[in-house]
């Protein structure tokens, strides 16, 4: 039995899908879903890189990453389908959920780190 090809989204469908999923900082460029994260420095950038790497390996869907001192660029595309699929949107959602999570200020962690850590904007 032949495997069915995954649905790929057209360039015109992607912005609406990103908005519907709340992925407002993600965008389409050159056939990739992309996101830039800004951090407070090298140690946080490395932790961010490892966290994203872990999520990608768990999903068995691997991002392309570009790393520098206080920035990390993430690119997602389903190579086997030749475009952007639900896998890319799903992984982008999980990355956002994990990377931007902060404990509540009134919880046992009292809001977490006082450092700038990972900023949510491009």
- Measured CA to CA, the distance from residue 88 to residue 82 in angstroms comes to 12
Q: Residue 110: its pLDDT value, please? A: 87
Domain parsing of the chain, residue ranges = 28-102+112-119
> Which pTM value belongs to this model?
0.90
- Measured CA to CA, the distance from residue 34 to residue 50 in angstroms comes to 18
Q: Residue 122: its pLDDT value, please? A: 47
Contacts of 96 (CB under 8 A, 6+ apart): 22, 23, 25, 26
Q: Residue 55: its pLDDT value, please? A: 98
- CA nearest neighbour of 31 among 10, 52, 62, 16: 10
Instruction: Render each residue's pLDDT in the chain as its tens digit; 122 residues.
Output: 556 778 999 999 999 999 999 999 999 999 999 999 999 999 999 999 999 999 999 999 999 999 999 999 999 999 999 999 999 999 999 999 999 888 888 999 888 888 877 876 54
Q: What are phi and psi of 95, to 5 degrees?
A: -60, -50
- Measured CA to CA, the distance from residue 77 to residue 54 in angstroms comes to 17
Is 28-102+112-119 a CATH 3.30.1360.20 domain? yes
């Amino acid at each position: 039995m032949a495997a069915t090809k995954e649905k790929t989204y057209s360039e015109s469908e992607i912005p609406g899908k990103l908005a519907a999923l709340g992925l407002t900082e993600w965008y389409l460029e050159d056939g990739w879903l992309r996101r830039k994260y800004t951090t407070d420095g090298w140690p946080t950038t490395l932790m961010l890189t490892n966290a994203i790497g872990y999520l990608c390996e768990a999903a068995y869907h691997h991002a392309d990453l570009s790393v520098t001192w206080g920035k990390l660029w993430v690119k997602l595309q389903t190579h086997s389908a030749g475009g952007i699929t639900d896998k890319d949107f799903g992984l982008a959602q999980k990355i956002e959920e994990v990377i931007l999570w902060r404990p509540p200020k009134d919880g046992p962690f009292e809001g977490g780190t006082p450092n700038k850590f990972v900023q949510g904007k491009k």
